[in-house]
Structure 1
Amino acid sequence: MSTDWLIKNAEIVNEGRRFHADLRVRQGRIDAIAGELDAKPGEQVIDASGLWLLPGMIDDQVHFREPGLTQKADIWHESRACAAGGITSYMEMPNTRPPALDRESLEAKYARAAEVSAVNYGFYLGASNDNLEAIRALDPKAAPGIKIFMGASTGNMLVDNPDVLDGIFRDAPTPIITHCEDTPMIDALHAKAREKYGEDIPAWEHPLIRSREACIKSTRLAISLAQKYNSRLHVLHISTADELALFQPGPIKGKRITAETCVHFLHFDDHDYERLGFLIKCNPAIKTAADREAITRALAEGRLDVLATDHAPHLLEEKAQKYDKAPSGLPLVQFALQAALQRVFEGKLSLERVVEAVTHAPATLFDVQDRGYLREGYAADLVLVDPNKPHTVRREEVLSKCGWSPFEGTTFNSSIAMTFVNGERVWDGSSVNEAVRGKRLAFDR
């Protein structure tokens, strides 16, 4: 497979700038970026006139379900969906079966990804009430971070022991990544909903059960612990306007406490429950249109630093169950970048800011080595976007193993024309190159 390319006449979007230039890829890395480059022997030339050339998206929040839940998702399928969506690297969550709570289970995931992943990969170490010593012993280069579920999760991964939380925030050798929802508050509201509706709790009740107050209380706790120990804290999937005041606007560099939101919080609101029901049931819940607009503004000003997916597939038959049994989570990676860019076409986000939030910021936050920017010498993780080719999502094109998308029927203004991982073209606009394998992310710590 060739890893020597000359991409000509592209509109490059990188580090706050938009400019027309050529980009040369040699042996898997960016060799040159200049106004006009001449083709060399052996290079494949791509005329990118009219296309945007972006650094590939780094999705720092995915659930690929392997091991243990591979009937609904696995690394093979989900990484190919990433490639089709312009995501060139992902960081996967630890709540698999068994959960990744020690170095051995973590390394088993890396070994599997080396065999089958079409794009680059990293895996979080999970936190529980009884693995503090494994957290303290973690090599900071072995994982992007330590994930704490400060709200309900699968298995024994809900961390609610105050002494353990103190120990993690005091001693963590990597950034701490938190899911913040207060479980006792949620349980009480769930019990009230069951009293009112029995088993037939409607989908639109979900954001009232997984309430904004539950999010705020848990987020405040995480921030207070981070401030107490000067920890490096990253709060995931902010879903309410109320939490935004807890974070500071501005560039991510130098911040000790950062936050992110997800593409579905920019795209859907509580009016969509009537149409999509439990297909958009997720934790934390999709909330109001006012929350959606406030989150979008906060992303624009850098109060929210990162935009990710929280890709979490479930089977359609699971989603068709009643409230208590219908699982939370949406498959998102294949169309996430297009959904983010839709906010550019609407005039709510600049293209430069989207690139910062989906690529530069996660690379900076997690100390990702030689990725996340279009720079000479960096790995050639690239995506070409056609901003003039609308794309309507159809079920038959979904590559995630679950076989459906909440975006079905949605027409995006843009299309993903090509995706390159380490200089290899893994997506050509219509199919995935099955021979391409990503690499393990390196963390420069």
Structure 2
Amino acid sequence: MTVRRLAPVDAQTLWMSATVPNDQFLLYAFAAAVPDPGAALEEIRRRAYLCPDLTVRVRDAGARQYPVWERCAVEPGQFVIHADQTWAGCLRTVADLVADQLDPWTHPWRLHVFPAVDGVPGAGAGGVAVLQISHALADGIRASALAAWLLGRPAPVPPVPSPLGGGFVRRSIAAAWAHRGLVRDTDAGLVPPQAHSRPVLRSNTRPAGALSLRTLIRRRDALPGPTVTVAVLSAVSAALAGHLRDLGDDPALLGAEVPMARPGVRQANNHYGNVGVGLVPHLPRDRRASAIAADLRARRRRATHPALAAEAAALAAVPAPVLRWGVGRFDPDRRSEAVSGNTVVSSVHRGPADLSFGGAPVVLTAGFPALSPMMGLVHGVHGIGDTIAISVHAAESAVGDVEAYLDRLDHELR
């Protein structure tokens, strides 16, 4: 039986999921209802069998070792057909699914199918497929590639190399020396400084009360700005600042966490890091977009410093008992007075509109990042073809009236 050890960052994600659920939900909507979902799922099952990353599950290798990915069959229980729904009802069902996290030791992914959904944006009556996938198996970019393979994209998903490990002391010393170089280069102005922390706001409240998923749909050419990500960050800045101000918060130092792909060759299923970006809500629209774009460029530039690669190499060599001990010390009840962002904006372009399900072409795709103890409001920005979905995943405790916030965001995106 073929097995591959989990990379430390993937094992960390796996172990953290027991405390902070982190399943991803990738939604794809299609231009017509699916009259024979059973036949459509047979094609999905066939393609899953041909993808090594979709025929694995986690097996524990003992307390002193990292878990491994071992081969397994694709089973009928990984496909769930839901009754006919409206678009709003479909999103409510997906919100309820957040409480039903996957067991990666059994299967790390599941496909939810809604054969007939009324009111799909851009389609009217259409079908919807939602891939629920463990974050240990894939980050947002890789999960999108796996979903695209299931839904007909011809390009296979490249395998991730097996982690090498070993050399923890040597790599740690190298990382320490490289960090000194980072500090020196930062002080000399050769590297942008580390992002500032932000004071906690209402949006950082622990998630409680009703959970809501909402989507706003735009065409790419309707979003002003150098990139889709910058355009949405600028809109979130104005909408969230106004909403929080009405709730009694001061959003002057408002910021967002933005997941960003790491430079270099992928060495793990999760190949990204979160960076803090200032949202400068006090600036007018054009200057705000320019400032956000400049901050993103600074984060990317800092991420290319050799110290960050040395730090990642050291993490990749951490012995399993040490990392498991560190994860076990995480206290989800501990509150912080400063955060790297007051919301999350996760942006992934999912490629051309070349996917289909049951013969119907794709019309949109959306995603809903997970909430966490210090983050009760998050955003997803996902494009396929020329269609962009801006999604909101919010807890009542963090935003109060989610419809009021969505109206503000809708206005700012116009």
Alignment TM class, shorter chain as reference:
under 0.3
Higher relative contact order (Cα pairs below 8 Å, separated by 6+ residues): 2
**What TM-score, normalized by structure 1, do the two folds share?**
0.21
Which structure has greater strand proportion? 2
Normalised by the length of structure 2, the TM-score is: 0.22
